[in-house]
Amino acid sequence: MNKTVAEATAFAAALKPQLASLTATELLIFPSFFGVRPVADALHGTLVHVGAQDLYVEASGAFTGEVSALQITDAGATHVLVGHSERRHVLHESEALVAKKLAAALAGGLIPMLCVGETLAEREGGRMEAVVTAQLEAALAACAPAAAARVLIAYEPVWAIGTGRNATPDDAAFMHAVIRAWLAARFGGGLGTSARILYGGSVKPDNAGSLCACDGVDGLLVGGASLDAASFTAIARAASAG
């Protein structure tokens, strides 16, 4: 819940001159709902994708305050976040609701980015693998392999988001391997290898390169450090180098 429409379009305007030097990195921005159309328009003709931060499970109807996949695509977005840690832990979305949102995104032609991750208590209790694989199972249970192949996955260790306590590259590599092993077991080895899995959790310019250098880490889901265009582009450059 950051940036007015004017601030979001100013961000896009500040980003555009940097894009010529970022062609090796695929960029995706998730503005608030009000910013999706203006940012998509501002970045039209570039290689930057625009996504929405959430969606509702139904295609249309009497669901005051909600936003559908059709409305999101009509606004110019191609992607949508599903199951972000703040939706799960601040707004108390259940695993069943996350699964329905993932299905709605796929049915609506969007590319969902499914977020999974454990809390500090779950990690300290040695349950991180069980928690993350249970989240994957709940969200992807109804997906055929072809549908699952369209899903991007973001591993978000909740304990490393805005806490000052960072996951190490080894932490990230281990959990990405866990996710790939689960995908391979559930859908076949091909998806375990080809799935695009991102890391998200206190990503900054100074750790982006080392995180992206980890085996199995395909990119980064950036939080607060993405709000400034200069920081965002610095992370993109470091990620590309990593």
> What pLDDT, on the 0 to 100 scale, is given for residue 192?
96
Q: Calculate mean pLDDT across residues 204-212.
A: 94
* Strand blocks (E) in the chain: 28-29, 49-52, 79-82, 111-116, 152-155, 197-199, 219-220
C-alpha to C-alpha distance for 193 and 176, rounded to whole angstroms: 11
Neighbours of 165 (CB within 10 A): 12
Grade residue 161 by pLDDT with cuts at 50, 70 and 90.
Answer: confident
For the chain, percent of residues with pLDDT exceeding 70: 100
Nearest residue to 149 (alpha-carbon basis) of 115, 197, 104, 117: 197
> What pLDDT, on the 0 to 100 scale, is given for residue 163?
74
Catalytic residue among 84, 86, 93, 118: 84
Residues whose CB falls within 8 Å of the CB of residue 151, separated by 6 or more in sequence, listed in order: 102, 106, 111, 112, 113, 114, 140, 143, 195
Does 162 score more than 80 pLDDT? no
Q: Calculate mean pLDDT across residues 99-123.
A: 97
> What pLDDT, on the 0 to 100 scale, is given for residue 167?
86
- Mean pLDDT over each residue of the chain, to the nearest integer: 96
pLDDT tens sequence across 164-202: 677 899 999 999 999 999 999 999 989 999 999 999 988
Catalytic residue among 79, 86, 156, 176: 156
Q: pTM of whole model > 0.95?
A: yes
Does 67 score more than 80 pLDDT? yes
Instruction: Specify whether 84 is catalytic.
Output: yes
- What are the angstrom distances between the C-alpha of 45 and each of 39, 72, 76, 236? 12, 19, 12, 19
Structural domains in the chain, CATH included, are 5-241 (3.20.20.70)
Q: Calculate mean pLDDT across residues 118-146.
A: 96
DSSP string, 125-140: TT-HHHHHHHHHHHHH
